[in-house]
Structure 1
Amino acid sequence: MTSEPTGGRPAGGLAVEARGLSVRGPRGWVFRDVDLKVPAGGLAAVAGVAGSGRTSLLLTLGGRMKPASGTVLLDGRRRGLGEARRRAALGVVPGVNELDPALTVREHVSEALDLREGLLGRWRGREARIRRALERVDLGVAPRTLAADLTPEETRLLGAALALVGEPGLLLLDDVDEGLPFERQRELWRRLRALADSGVTIVAACHDAAPAEGLAQVVRLSESREEALR
């Protein structure tokens, strides 16, 4: 399986490459022999049906899951899992780092800043940094909005904002098209393209890559574990 490049991008972010990457679980291969190469500042759409290993691929690229075989290169070098985790960040991934529905958008961003800056950071222009975090991903909701009241698109953008607080070189986003009609998917991919252009590499998983055409390079995963074994 190979990626489909869409042309050069400006420098920035962390270049990521996978060569023959495979993950095997208790019930067989989760995904197998995945190749991709995303330049620094690039945007890639990883497309596949449920069960094709999209989420597991993101976790593997980000050092959260150990591959059974193959290689992940970050900026042209193999990295340990710990270093990969420090240099890559996850958006919202169900079952891994979901939003707390009882917290507001502001509270989520403030907690992310606490983890990066410590409690003393609360007294040095915290509100301005919260605004910048939301503006960076073009999330135009009131900071007092509860996470439970966010649309699927807004949830994904808030997840991206929280991940970017740590200034990672690689941003990994899961199920970005879940629950969105085609035109809203297309608009979300436009936002992600602009975000990548601002200086971060993005790999985003989706069901259908059609709305990302012309905006992202596409990696298509096998539709089933049985197909991946062929």
Structure 2
Amino acid sequence: MTSEPTGGRPAGGLAVEARGLSVRGPRGWVFRDVDLEVPAGGLAAVAGAAGSGRTCLLLALGGRMKPAAGTVLLGGRRRGPDEMRRRTALGVMAGVNELDPALTVREHVSEALDLRAGPLSRWRGREARIRRALERVDLDVAPRTLAADLAPEQAVLLGAALALVGEPDLLLLDDVDESLPVERQRELWRRLHALAGSGVTIVAACHDAAPAEGLAQVVPLARAREEALR
């Protein structure tokens, strides 16, 4: 399933659809009865307060957390957890795959390339591939910049670059508006919108989706959390 994004470029990625998706933890429902439908090459903003289940929703969409109820379709089909994990990728997620503050941008990308490249091609065209990975997400920083020195939106984009090395169909990004003023949130959503148009479906979690209006489909989680607590 494909669509045509603004600018006439064919979209890549896979459509993602969830119906009645629910996750339950030891203390009860984390979220409940969430519906979403994002076309191939689309961008969705999952919005909710802390504790509303945003991160768990991303993990469930990526086959990394088992739902208690509901279904997830990728490309219009139900897929097993292994295939879901192969076809999706996580950006930076606290407690899961955080950036190493002592490593540079180049070292992070180089390490991601090592995990994907065969032994014979590991060093072939390395610098060009690092440059392309950063250009794809429009991350304009010196490769020797330490992860600890990145601005919050730059860290989000670096996480996206690392995830995209594996050419996933669905990119899942968490807390994209953390510590950002509204005007910088809006600029980040513009970049994510352009990135989706480059050939990947994106679902990004945030506290407030207002800066994403007109750029992303909004999926509120507040109501799901309220229902879960009843």
Q: TM-score scaled to structure 1, two decimals?
A: 0.94
CA displacement, residues 44-81 of structure 1 (integer Å, 9 cap, x when unaligned): 00000000000000000001100000000000000001
Equivalent position SS for 2:120: helix
Unaligned 5+ runs, structure 2: none
Equivalent position SS for 2:72: strand
Extract structure 1 runs of 4+ deviating beyond 2 A: 7-11, 118-123, 222-230
Unaligned 5+ runs, structure 1: 1-6
Superposed displacement of residue 225, structure 1 = 4.2
Equivalent position SS for 2:186: helix
- After superposition, where does 1:1-230 map in structure 2 within 5 Å? 9=5, 10-222=10-222, 225-230=225-230
Whether contact under 8 Å (1:88, 1:171) holds in the other structure is yes
Superposed displacement of residue 226, structure 1 = 4.8
2:192 is matched by which residue type in structure 1? Answer: L
Superposed displacement of residue 171, structure 1 = 0.3
Superposed displacement of residue 192, structure 1 = 0.3
Equivalent position SS for 1:22: strand
Cα RMSD (Å): 1.4
Residue aligning to 1:3: none
In structure 2, what is the Cα distance between the partners aligned to 1:20 and 1:49?
Answer: 20
In structure 1, what is the Cα distance between the partners aligned to 2:27 and 2:223?
Answer: 16
Whether contact under 8 Å (1:23, 1:69) holds in the other structure is yes
CA displacement, residues 17-41 of structure 1 (integer Å, 9 cap, x when unaligned): 0000000000010000000000000
- Aligned sequence identity (%): 86
Q: May I ask how many residue pairs the two structures share in their alignment? A: 224
CA displacement, residues 111-165 of structure 1 (integer Å, 9 cap, x when unaligned): 0000000343332101000000000000000001111111111100000000000
1:152 is matched by which residue type in structure 2? Answer: P
Superposed displacement of residue 12, structure 1 = 1.6
In structure 2, what is the Cα distance between the partners aligned to 1:219 and 1:21?
Answer: 13
In structure 1, what is the Cα distance between the partners aligned to 2:178 and 2:157?
Answer: 13
1:123 is matched by which residue type in structure 2? Answer: W
Q: TM-score scaled to structure 2, two decimals?
A: 0.94
Whether contact under 8 Å (1:17, 1:37) holds in the other structure is yes
2:63 is matched by which residue type in structure 1? Answer: G
Equivalent position SS for 1:203: strand
In structure 1, what is the Cα distance between the partners aligned to 2:228 and 2:209?
Answer: 19
In structure 2, what is the Cα distance between the partners aligned to 1:8 and 1:227?
Answer: 36
In structure 2, what is the Cα distance between the partners aligned to 1:176 and 1:229?
Answer: 26
